[in-house]
C-alpha cells in the first residue's frame, strides 16, 4: 500500500507532528513533504517508505482501501 497525501496529513495530525518534525525524523527535506501533501509532487517510492516508516514508528497504523469497515484508506493510532 502506498502513502497518500491525505494519509500523511492525517497521520501527522494524529500524533501532533509538524511537517518539519516529520522531515527531521524521516530524514527528508521539509519541501518534499510540503509539495507531497499539497499534491504538487509525488516523491520517490523510497521517500514515501521513509515517511511511512517514521509515522508508523510513532504509532500510526495505515489502513488501505479495503480496510474493515473503514470506508476507504485512512489512518489510526495503534492500540
Model's pTM, two decimal places? Answer: 0.88
Task: Please tell me the total count of domains within the chain.
Answer: 1
**CATH code, domain with 65:** 1.10.260.40
Query: Three cell numbers at 56?
Result: 508508523
Q: Are 47 and 76 in contact (CB under 8 A)?
A: no
CA distance 28 to 31: 8
Nine-digit cell at 57?
A: 514508528
User: Residue 57 sits in which domain range?
Assistant: 5-77
* Span 6-31, average pLDDT: 97
Tell me the pLDDT of the chain averaged across its residues.
Answer: 91
Amino acid at each position: 500500500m502506498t502513502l497518500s497525501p491525505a494519509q500523511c496529513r492525517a497521520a501527522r495530525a494524529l500524533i501532533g507532528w509538524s511537517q518539519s518534525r516529520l522531515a527531521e525524523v524521516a530524514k527528508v527535506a521539509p519541501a518534499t513533504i510540503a509539495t507531497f501533501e499539497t499534491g504538487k509532487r509525488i516523491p520517490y517510492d523510497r521517500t514515501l517508505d521513509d515517511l511511512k516508516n517514521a509515522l508508523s514508528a510513532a504509532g500510526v497504523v495505515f489502513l488501505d482501501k479495503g480496510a474493515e469497515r473503514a470506508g476507504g484508506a485512512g489512518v489510526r493510532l495503534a492500540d
